Homo-oligomer: A and B are copies of this chain.
Amino acid sequence: MARWAPDAALRLERAAMELFTENGYAATTVPAIAERAGLTTRTFFRHFADKRDVLFLREREFPSVVAHLLTDAPAGLGTIDLLMHGLDGAASGDLERWRDDIAARRAIIRSEPQLRERELLKSAGLADAMRDALVSNGTPAPDAALAASAASALFDLALETWLAGPPGVTLTSILHDHRLRLTRLLAPSA
């Protein structure tokens, strides 16, 4: 038997979600989270940069996954189609199964501006990763930055729409639809 129970980060995340749901984010202290997970405060901060970060454990690898999909994508796609392909591929793994978890996290995140702030930073990190992948694939830097920012915004709004809508509608279809609507909105009005 190992000296320490495995998955310390996951146990901390589960404990945090429970306490946040029971008492709210602000009323939950880090020592309380650590205690429920059977660890100490110091160990919490070894796994998470700060208290907010515990809500984003699942998304840590998302930017690099998307970036890899972008660099390995089939040639010939336009910039935006490439981005849609990458986001789609990274988020496609039986998303419906996680709907409740995502909704629970989102409910907590929307309860505190601090947490929305962190979510925005994560989205910006995704946009940065996509921009860099585009640039190293030959896209001009200004175009890459513009397209990556737009794609990140599209993804966030699509995810929100997906969560608010009925089960069964795929994120892929919503993303596609949002992209088309934004295209029409941006086009010079007659």
Contact = CB atoms under 8 A, between A and B. Distances in A.
Contact of A120 (B120, B146, B147, B181): B120
A81 B147 CA distance: 19
Contacts of A23: none
Given A142-B161, A146-B157, A153-B149, A185 B117 contact: no
Interface string A130-172: 0000000000001101110110011011000100000000000
Q: How large is the interface on A (under 10, 10 to 19, 20 to 34, 35 or more residues)?
A: 35 or more
Copy total for this chain: 2
Interface stretch (A5-13, A59-67, A72-80, A97-105): A72-80
Nearest to A189: B78
Nearest to A125: B113
A190 to B, nearest CB: 8
A146 B178 contact: yes
Contact of A150 (B118, B120, B145, B150): B150
Contacts of A77: 189
A33 B79 CA distance: 46
14 contacts: A78-B189, A113-B121, A116-B121, A117-B121, A120-B120, A120-B121, A142-B181, A143-B181, A146-B153, A146-B182, A147-B182, A150-B185, A179-B186, A183-B183
Given A150-B185, A183-B187, 12 more contacts: A78-B188, A79-B189, A80-B189, A116-B121, A146-B157, A146-B185, A147-B182, A147-B185, A150-B150, A150-B186, A182-B186, A183-B186
